[in-house]
Amino acid sequence: MKKLLTGNEAIARGAYEYGISYASAYPGTPSTEILENIANYSEDIIAEWAPNEKVALEAVIGASYAGARVIASMKHVGLNVAADPLMTFSFTGVNGGAVIISADEPGMHSSQNEQDNRYYAKFGKLPMLEPSDSAECKDMIGYALDISEEYDTPVMIRMTTRVCHSKSIVNFGERKSVKIKEYVKNERKNISIPSYARLMHVKVDNALKELEKISNDSSLNYCEYYNKKIGIISAGAAYEYAKEVFEENASYLKIGFTNPLPIEKIRKFADEVDQLYVIEELEPFMEEQIKADGIKCIGKEIVPRLGELSPTILRKVFFEKIDNSNTFNDIEIPMRPPTLCSGCPHRGFFYALKKRSDIMVTGDIGCYGLGAIAPLNAVDTILCMGASVSMGHGAQKVFTKFGISKRTVAVLGDSTFFHTGINSLIDVVYNKSKVVTCILDNRITGMTGHQENPGTGYTLDGSSTNIISIEDVCKAIGVKHIEVVNPLDLTATEEAVNRALDYNEAAVIITRWPCALKKYSTEDIKEFGLIKDSCQVDEEKCIGCRKCIGTGCPSLEFNSEIKKVKIDPNTCVGCEVCMQTCPVSAIRKVVK
């Protein structure tokens, strides 16, 4: 059977076919669907969401030591979180084969930075494979597991958004029956204290030399000879773009085994072509090593180093000719930026928070990042997962020490709190600063498309589990002032913020209302009920002051001609936030 699969779906299929038994991840674009699809094979594979990537990788390492074939998947910045166990996992090696997926995001469609995680493979002395399409994604899982077990090393697979999220044809096979390996206590292998680790380092270094031979012989690195005037070395999605643009007007060395590089094969290929180009996305990872070996090539001198490549970019770079003969008159098309959804509980919170102009708001990674853009503009900083609270702490310490009256308010979500926010809150309490930490609990991991987390009461396979109470965790950490509010109630939220800021120690506000797009669980229905109304503007009363427009709700439209606001009844979910902002009570509730 053949099917069209995304790269992420193909990785999941590979995990199934090649006998993986344990998988863990934290959701993050573009990697999220890998675990969601592995969860479809729950009879054969234990698949779990971990609170963060470090935890996911460590769980996977334990499962590998126990003898199973394992996989951990994460986005590029997620690997930063998991870098600590990663670097030592390469020293200890595996028992059952281990694969670590890094889904990088050139172009930053929904990420906070653009980093080339191929360097992690070199840094951590890990073999790395780089697929170009979905069929390769599936096959490389098998290849990676074989290498992993034979050379006693975890193997990294580096993907990019285009490989993760584009579909191509994959042939299906059966699941290989893989017996779990026996666990044998072995302190020289699994205990990384200095005296043992020094020996491990020697072993890793020797394995790397062996692996370079494997890379030179590997069928994942292959030449395609057409016109030999131009030779192109490429990998990943960039290889497909190069083939699209150069067709049979060039010869190719396609690299699928990118660390260690097959330098002998590259030297041989370089000898056979007149002009050698290296076409790779983001950093000159291959190019620098090729040049360091004394091989002449052209790469980042002409191929962009920043952002995602495309056939259009390559055509511009190499041929300076774009086949676009269609010329249309210029019509200005307004932007369509992402916004907080209609009825998003974060909107009410940010609207209320904005009343205080004497604060620094440290934000975090998640939907609430959209509270940073117009018209709310309610966030001062966004850095990485969990950083809101610890950054707020550092800033508050400095403000206090130098007698500056500014207060810091940290804003993060429920999933982010469990990810790394907890550690940061411990820092706040332990080191005694008066940060107001606002945990926007929308009962789900919203931004990545609704994954369960320790607060939701459900696991990845949909079975119910303990709900970790954020309130109780905060109490246990030692926060004394904790308030839970409904963020759709502007007055209550504003008052809670004021009370917390008046309190001279660490304070926590938990705003609690489900994501507007979320399918309510039975617990949600019990706690929140279902709103079945929508809001409507009485045009007679509307004075066109645009106060309600300031909430940034996409259901509200200001008509500049008649200077009145209209609410779209199809998208409005009746959250009443706009109603509370109207100074003349022109907005009322109607039954849908």
Q: Cite the annotated binding site for [4Fe-4S] cluster by residue number.
A: 542, 545, 548, 553, 572, 575, 578, 582
Measured at the CA of 572, the angle between CA 566 and CA 575, to 5 degrees, comes to 110
Should residue 1 be labelled a site residue for another protein when binding is judged by CB under 8 A? no
558 touches another protein (CB under 8 A): yes
* Residues ≥6 apart with Cβ < 8 Å to 567: 534, 535, 536, 537, 555, 556, 557, 578, 587
**Using CB under 8 A, which of the segments 163-171, 206-214, 216-224, 530-538 binds another protein?**
163-171
Q: Which is nearer to another protein, 468 or 549 (CB)?
A: 549
Q: Which of 42, 186, 377, 559 is close enough to bind another protein by CB under 8 A?
A: 559
Q: Of 551 and 580, which CB lies nearer to another protein in the complex structure?
A: 551
Are residues 419 and 26 in contact, defined by beta-carbon separation less than 8 angstroms?
yes
Q: What angle in degrees, to the nearest 10, is found between the helix axes of 490-502 and 345-353?
A: 50
325 binds another protein (CB under 8 A): yes
Binding mask 477-516 for another protein (x = CB under 8 A): ----------------------------------------
Question: Which of 109, 201, 213, 541 lies at the binding interface for another protein (CB under 8 A)?
Answer: 109
Q: How far is 75 from 105, CA to CA, in rounded Å?
A: 8
Cα gap 506→433, rounded to integer Å: 6
Residue linked to tokens 């090539």: 297
248 is a contact residue toward another protein (CB under 8 A): no
Distance CA 210, CA 204 (A): 10
CA-CA distance, 345 to 372, in Å (whole number)?
15
Contact 469, 443 (CB under 8 A): no
Shortest approach of another protein to residue 570 CB, angstroms?
A: 8
174 binds another protein (CB under 8 A): no
Region near another protein per CB under 8 A, out of 387-395, 405-413, 506-514, 558-566? 558-566
Tell me which of 399, 400, 557, 588 binds another protein, using CB under 8 A: 557
**Which span (17-25, 171-179, 277-285, 369-377) binds another protein, by CB under 8 A?**
369-377
Q: Within 10 A of 591 (CB to CB), how many other CB atoms are there?
A: 7
Q: How far is CA 56 from CA 22, 120, 418, in A?
A: 11, 17, 13
Q: Taking contact as CB under 8 A, which single stretch among the options 143-151, 238-246, 263-271, 401-409 is the one that binds another protein?
A: 238-246
Query: Considering the rule CB under 8 A, would residue 536 count as an interface residue with another protein?
Result: no
Q: Which of residues 22-51 bind another protein (CB under 8 A)?
A: 29-30
| 326 is a contact residue toward another protein (CB under 8 A) | yes
**Alpha-carbon span 426 to 462, nearest angstrom:** 31
Tell me the C-alpha distance between 266 and 290, whole Å.
8
Contact (CB, 8 A) for 573 and 531 = yes
Structural element, H or E, at residue 145: helix 134-151
**Region from 44-52, 160-168, 210-218, 484-492 binding another protein, contact rule CB under 8 A:** 160-168
Q: Give the residue from 112, 109, 107 showing the smallest Cα distance to 81.
A: 112
CB 425 within 8 A of CB 471: no
Measured from the CB atom, is 82 or 370 closer to another protein?
A: 370
- Report DSSP letters for 440-479, one per residue: EE-SSBTTTT-B--TTTSB-TTS-B-PPPPHHHHHHHHT-
- Closer Cβ to another protein, 225 or 558, answer by number: 558
| Four-residue CA torsion sign, 216, 220, 226, 230 | negative
Spatial separation of the C-alpha atoms in residues 354 and 379, rounded to whole Å? 9
Segment lying near another protein (by CB under 8 A), choices 46-54, 159-167, 228-236, 425-433: 159-167
307 binds another protein (CB under 8 A): no
104 binds another protein (CB under 8 A): no
CA angle 469, 432, 508 (to 5 degrees): 30
Give the residue with the Cβ less far from another protein, 204 or 376: 376
Nearer to another protein, 267 or 546 (CB): 546
Site for another protein in 513-532 (CB under 8 A): 517
Among 1, 292, 322, 530, contact with another protein (rule: CB under 8 A): 322
Binding residue (CB under 8 A) for another protein from 2, 519, 526, 532: 2
CB atoms within 10 A of CB 294: 8
**Per-residue contact track with another protein, 127 to 156, x per CB under 8 A?**
------x-----------------------
The site string for another protein over 424-453 (x = CB under 8 A, - otherwise) reads -----------------------x-x----
Of the candidate spans 148-156, 214-222, 323-331, 414-422, the one that interacts with another protein by CB under 8 A turns out to be 323-331
Residue 338 in contact with another protein, rule: CB under 8 A = yes
Stretch that binds another protein, among 12-20, 178-186, 233-241, 270-278 (CB under 8 A): 233-241
Q: Which residues are annotated as a binding site?
A: 542, 545, 548, 553, 572, 575, 578, 582
CA dihedral of residues 470, 471, 475, 481 (deg, nearest 10) = 130
**Structure tokens belonging to residue 346:** 């974060």
CA dist., res. 11 & res. 133, Å (int): 11
At 305, is the secondary structure helix, strand, or coil? coil
**Closest separation in Å from C-beta 534 to another protein:** 16
The residue among 407 and 564 lying less far from another protein, judged by its C-beta, is 564
Stated as kind and residue range, the H or E segment containing 579 is helix 577-581
Count of Cβ atoms closer than 10 Å to residue 502 Cβ: 10
* # residues near another protein by CB under 8 A: 57
Q: Does 394 bind another protein (CB under 8 A)?
A: no
Residue type, position 260, single letter: P
The DSSP symbol for 93 reads -
| Dist. CA 73–CA 76, nearest whole Å | 10
Q: Give the x/- contact pattern for another protein in 258-297, rule: CB under 8 A.
A: ----------------------------------------
Which stretches of the chain bind another protein, using CB under 8 A?
A: 2-4, 29-30, 109-110, 133, 162, 165-169, 237, 240-241, 243-244, 310-312, 315, 322-326, 328-329, 331-341, 367, 370, 374-375, 447, 449, 517, 546, 549, 552, 554, 556-560
